[in-house]
Amino acid sequence: MEPIVLTTERLLLRTFTADDTEAVLQACQDPDIQRWTTVPSPYERRHAAEYTERMVPDGWQAGTMCTFAVIPREGGPLLASVAVTLRAYSGTWEIGFWTGREHRGNGFMAEAAGAVAHWIFTGLGATRLEWRAEVGNTASRAVAERTGFTVEGVLRAGLLNKDTLRDAWVGSLLPSDLGLTSPYAYLPAPADGPRPGSSPR
């Protein structure tokens, strides 16, 4: 898959290049990014170079991880990173993101995540986009909810970070949540369905 460029009212989303290594290195010195995401800690230049020069291009080439650098539409500094990763079950992708400390509070990530979600459904035919974050990562949850994700619950030991399994919130976004059509019909469970442990008569 060739990298693509997405635009929103304020933002331009493009692939990372080697020229972004220093900006990634600086952004990932933030203790919050190291605490709540799976980036290495301490975060060194070699980690940034691996990300921009190997991980990102390899993901695009394989068509299994599409990663975008988020910058102002008219040009400027790196604001954030957002990626979608193909999961084993058909049609499902998972979104992950971080925003540089000095650029938080401006709605950039919800705007970028919304653009990526729209593209993943219309461009790649995804049927479900998942979001996961460690329980307690309220900033990530706020972004997910502003983007339209429905938080579905808690997965015990649902996230591996720094060699430790952690409980994770999980949420989903469906094409219909954005007014789009899914490639498959969707039959939700009835709201008044049978109670757990019961059987139909």
* Residues 172-193, mean pLDDT to the nearest whole number: 90
For the stretch 103-152, pLDDT in tens is: 999 999 999 999 999 999 999 999 999 999 999 999 999 999 999 999 99
- How many residues are listed for the chain in this entry? 201
Q: What is the pLDDT of residue 88?
A: 77
For the stretch 32-42, pLDDT in tens is: 999 999 999 99
Q: pLDDT grade, residue 198 (50/70/90)?
A: low
The one-character DSSP state at 51 is I
Closest CA to 154 of 180, 181, 135: 135
What is the reported pTM? 0.91
Closest CA to 98 of 152, 164, 148, 51: 51
72 vs 91, higher pLDDT: 72
Closest CA to 153 of 176, 130, 175, 174: 130
| E-strand stretches of 19-112 | 65-72, 80-86, 92-99
* Residues 163-188, mean pLDDT to the nearest whole number: 95
The rounded distance, in Å, linking the Cα atoms of 96 and 108 is: 14
Residue 164: both structure tokens together: 């430790």
- 84 close to 50: Cβ distance less than 8 angstroms: no
